[in-house]
Protein backbone atom coordinates (compact mmCIF):
# COMPACT_ATOMS: atom_id res chain seq x y z
CA UNK A 1 0.00 0.00 0.00
CA UNK A 2 1.32 3.46 -0.88
CA UNK A 3 1.99 5.80 2.03
CA UNK A 4 -0.19 8.49 0.46
CA UNK A 5 -2.86 7.61 -2.09
CA UNK A 6 -4.75 9.94 -4.38
CA UNK A 7 -7.05 9.47 -7.34
CA UNK A 8 -4.91 10.65 -10.27
CA UNK A 9 -7.93 12.00 -12.18
CA UNK A 10 -8.18 13.97 -14.34
CA UNK A 11 -11.17 15.76 -12.91
CA UNK A 12 -12.77 17.77 -15.71
CA UNK A 13 -15.14 20.41 -14.35
CA UNK A 14 -16.81 23.54 -15.75
CA UNK A 15 -15.98 26.99 -14.44
CA UNK A 16 -17.92 27.77 -11.30
CA UNK A 17 -18.22 24.15 -10.21
CA UNK A 18 -17.34 22.80 -6.79
CA UNK A 19 -14.83 19.97 -6.81
CA UNK A 20 -13.44 17.80 -4.02
CA UNK A 21 -10.25 15.77 -3.86
CA UNK A 22 -9.57 13.04 -1.36
CA UNK A 23 -6.40 11.49 -0.06
CA UNK A 24 -5.68 8.63 2.33
CA UNK A 25 -2.46 8.04 4.25
CA UNK A 26 -1.14 4.91 5.90
CA UNK A 27 1.07 6.20 8.75
CA UNK A 28 -1.02 6.78 11.86
CA UNK A 29 1.93 8.62 13.44
CA UNK A 30 1.77 11.43 10.87
CA UNK A 31 1.29 14.84 12.44
CA UNK A 32 1.54 17.38 9.61
CA UNK A 33 -0.53 17.55 6.47
CA UNK A 34 -0.46 19.81 3.44
CA UNK A 35 -1.89 20.37 0.00
CA UNK A 36 0.51 21.48 -2.70
CA UNK A 37 -0.32 22.75 -6.16
CA UNK A 38 1.84 21.94 -9.17
CA UNK A 39 1.33 23.64 -12.52
CA UNK A 40 2.46 21.91 -15.69
CA UNK A 41 6.28 21.93 -15.96
CA UNK A 42 6.61 23.94 -12.74
CA UNK A 43 7.67 23.21 -9.19
CA UNK A 44 5.20 22.20 -6.45
CA UNK A 45 4.04 25.14 -4.34
CA UNK A 46 2.42 25.03 -0.93
CA UNK A 47 -1.31 25.69 -1.23
CA UNK A 48 -2.30 25.24 2.40
CA UNK A 49 -1.59 23.35 5.56
CA UNK A 50 -4.33 21.07 6.91
CA UNK A 51 -5.29 21.33 10.56
CA UNK A 52 -7.32 18.96 12.70
CA UNK A 53 -10.09 21.52 13.06
CA UNK A 54 -10.24 22.06 9.32
CA UNK A 55 -9.26 25.29 7.67
CA UNK A 56 -10.38 27.57 4.90
CA UNK A 57 -8.53 29.96 2.63
CA UNK A 58 -10.86 31.82 0.31
CA UNK A 59 -12.43 29.29 -2.06
CA UNK A 60 -10.33 26.42 -0.67
CA UNK A 61 -11.28 24.28 2.33
CA UNK A 62 -9.16 21.47 3.75
CA UNK A 63 -10.38 18.83 6.17
CA UNK A 64 -8.56 16.15 8.15
CA UNK A 65 -10.06 12.98 9.59
CA UNK A 66 -7.40 11.37 11.76
CA UNK A 67 -9.54 8.36 12.68
CA UNK A 68 -9.99 7.42 9.03
CA UNK A 69 -6.57 8.78 7.98
CA UNK A 70 -8.22 10.81 5.31
CA UNK A 71 -7.62 14.34 4.01
CA UNK A 72 -9.80 16.34 1.66
CA UNK A 73 -9.58 19.53 -0.37
CA UNK A 74 -12.68 21.35 -1.55
CA UNK A 75 -12.51 24.03 -4.22
CA UNK A 76 -15.59 26.20 -4.65
CA UNK A 77 -16.42 28.36 -7.67
CA UNK A 78 -13.64 26.83 -9.79
CA UNK A 79 -11.63 29.17 -11.99
CA UNK A 80 -9.73 28.37 -15.17
CA UNK A 81 -6.58 29.26 -13.24
CA UNK A 82 -7.26 26.43 -10.78
CA UNK A 83 -6.27 23.92 -13.46
CA UNK A 84 -3.24 22.14 -12.03
CA UNK A 85 -2.19 18.98 -10.22
CA UNK A 86 -2.91 18.92 -6.49
CA UNK A 87 -0.53 16.95 -4.30
CA UNK A 88 -1.49 15.56 -0.90
CA UNK A 89 1.51 15.66 1.44
CA UNK A 90 1.95 13.98 4.81
CA UNK A 91 4.87 13.96 7.21
CA UNK A 92 6.40 10.67 8.25
CA UNK A 93 5.72 11.21 11.93
CA UNK A 94 9.36 11.05 12.91
CA UNK A 95 11.28 13.69 14.81
CA UNK A 96 12.50 15.36 11.67
CA UNK A 97 10.53 16.92 8.87
CA UNK A 98 10.41 14.17 6.27
CA UNK A 99 7.40 14.51 3.98
CA UNK A 100 5.76 11.95 1.72
CA UNK A 101 4.11 13.24 -1.44
CA UNK A 102 1.11 11.66 -3.06
CA UNK A 103 1.09 11.15 -6.80
CA UNK A 104 -1.29 14.05 -7.31
CA UNK A 105 -4.78 14.64 -8.67
CA UNK A 106 -5.05 16.52 -11.93
CA UNK A 107 -7.79 19.14 -12.22
CA UNK A 108 -8.88 20.66 -15.52
CA UNK A 109 -11.36 23.52 -15.35
CA UNK A 110 -13.11 24.18 -18.66
CA UNK A 111 -14.87 27.38 -19.82
Burial of 16: CB neighbours in 10 Å, binned 0-12, 13-18, 19+: exposed
Does the protein bind other proteins through residue 43 (CB under 8 A)? yes
Does the protein bind other proteins through residue 49 (CB under 8 A)? yes
Question: Does residue 45 contact residue 38 with C-beta atoms inside 8 Å?
Answer: yes
Does the protein bind other proteins through residue 22 (CB under 8 A)? no
Does the protein bind other proteins through residue 40 (CB under 8 A)? no
Question: Which window, 19-27, 53-61, 62-70, 89-97, contacts other proteins (CB under 8 A)?
Answer: 89-97
Under the rule (CB under 8 A), what is the footprint of other proteins? Answer: 31-32, 34, 36, 42-46, 49, 87, 89, 91, 96-99, 101-104
Amino acid sequence: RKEVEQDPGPFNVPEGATVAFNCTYSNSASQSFFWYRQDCRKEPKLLMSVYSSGNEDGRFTAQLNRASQYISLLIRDSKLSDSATYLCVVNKGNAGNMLTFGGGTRLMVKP
